Amino acid sequence: MIPIDKIQATAHTLMEMAAIEIPEDYLVGLKKAAADETGDLSSFVLQAMLENYEAAKEDRRAMCGDTGTPRWYVKIANEARVEGGPVALEAALRGATASATRSIPLRPNRVHPLWRTDHDNNVGIGAPEIEYAYEPEGSWIDLTTVHKGGLFGTDYRMLFPSDGIQGIKRFYLDSLVAFGKRGLACQPAIIGVGLGGSKDACMVHGKRAACLRTVGDRNPDPKIAELEMELTELGNNIGMGAMGFVGKSMVIDTHIEVGYCHTGAMQMSVHAFCLSSRRACARVYAGGSVEYRTDPEWYTPYQRRETVTWPATEPSRKSA
Amino acid sequence: MARHGTLKKVSLSTNPAPEDLAKLELGNVVYLNGVVYTGREGVYMKVLEDGAELPLDLPGESAANFHCSPAAAPRDDGTYDLSAVSATASFRFTKWMADWLRISGAKLILGKGGMSPEDYRNTFVPNGSVYLTTVGYGTGALLGRGVTKVRDVHWLDDLGIAQAMWVLEVENFGPFIVESDINGDSLFERENKKIAEGLPKIYEGTKPAVLKRFGETDDRGDELI
Tens digit of each residue's pLDDT (9 = 90 or more) over B153-176:
999 999 999 999 999 999 999 999
Q: Output the pLDDT for position B5.
A: 66
Is domain B4-203 classified as CATH 3.20.130.10?
A: yes
Q: Using an 8 Å CB-CB cutoff, list chain B residues near A107.
A: 69-72, 84, 161-162
**Positions in chain A whose pLDDT score sits under 50:** 316-320
Q: What is the mean pLDDT of residues B103-115?
A: 97
Q: What is the mean pLDDT of residues B192-201?
A: 96
Q: How many CA atoms lie within 13 A of A222 on its CB side?
A: 0
pLDDT digit string, tens, across residues B197-206: 999 999 999 9
In this structure, which amino acid lies at residue A228?
A: E
Q: Give span(s): CATH 3.30.1330, chain A.
A: 4-17+63-149+279-293
ipTM given for this complex: 0.92
Asked if A72 and A284 touch (Cβ cutoff 8 Å), the reply is: no
Please determine, for residue B109, whether its predicted confidence score (pLDDT) is greater than 90.
yes
pLDDT tier at B215, thresholds 50, 70, 90: confident
- Contact criterion met (CB < 8 Å) for A55 and B145: yes
- Contact criterion met (CB < 8 Å) for B4 and A166: no
Q: What is the mean pLDDT of residues B83-101?
A: 95
Q: Output the pLDDT for position A319.
A: 45
Spatial neighbors of B214 by CB under 8 A, at least 6 apart, are B222, B223, B224
- 3-class secondary structure for B8-42? CEEEEECCCCHHHHHHCCCCCEEEEEEEEEECCHH
Asked if A171 and B212 touch (Cβ cutoff 8 Å), the reply is: no
CATH, range A4-17+63-149+279-293:
3.30.1330
Angle between helices B187-203 and A164-180 (to 10 degrees): 170
- Contact criterion met (CB < 8 Å) for B113 and A184: yes
Q: What is the mean pLDDT of residues B47-76?
A: 96
Please determine, for residue B17, whether its predicted confidence score (pLDDT) is greater than 80.
yes
- Contact criterion met (CB < 8 Å) for B202 and A65: no
The Cα B55–Cα A97 span in angstroms is 33
Q: Output the pLDDT for position B217.
A: 82
- Contact criterion met (CB < 8 Å) for B138 and A186: yes
Q: Using an 8 Å CB-CB cutoff, list chain A residues near B203.
A: 170, 173
Q: Using an 8 Å CB-CB cutoff, list chain A residues near B160.
A: 108, 111, 116, 118, 120
Spatial neighbors of A58 by CB under 8 A, at least 6 apart, are none
Instruction: Report DSSP state, residue B159.
Output: H
Long-range contacts of B201-205 (CB under 8 A, 24+ apart): B202/A173, B202/A234, B202/A237, B202/A238, B202/A239, B203/A170, B203/A173, B205/A166, B205/A169
Using CB atoms, pick whichever of B1, B72, B209 lies closest to residue A157.
B209
Q: Output the pLDDT for position A313.
A: 56
Q: What is the mean pLDDT of residues B85-104?
A: 96
Q: Output the pLDDT for position A34.
A: 97
Helix (H) or strand (E) holding A69: strand A69-77
Spatial neighbors of A162 by CB under 8 A, at least 6 apart, are B210
Using CB atoms, pick whichever of B136, B202, B211 lies closest to residue A158.
B211
pLDDT tier at B1, thresholds 50, 70, 90: very low
Q: Using an 8 Å CB-CB cutoff, list chain A residues near B194.
A: 239, 246
pLDDT tier at B16, thresholds 50, 70, 90: very high
Q: Output the pLDDT for position B2.
A: 47
Q: Output the pLDDT for position A320.
A: 42
- Contact criterion met (CB < 8 Å) for A246 and B195: yes
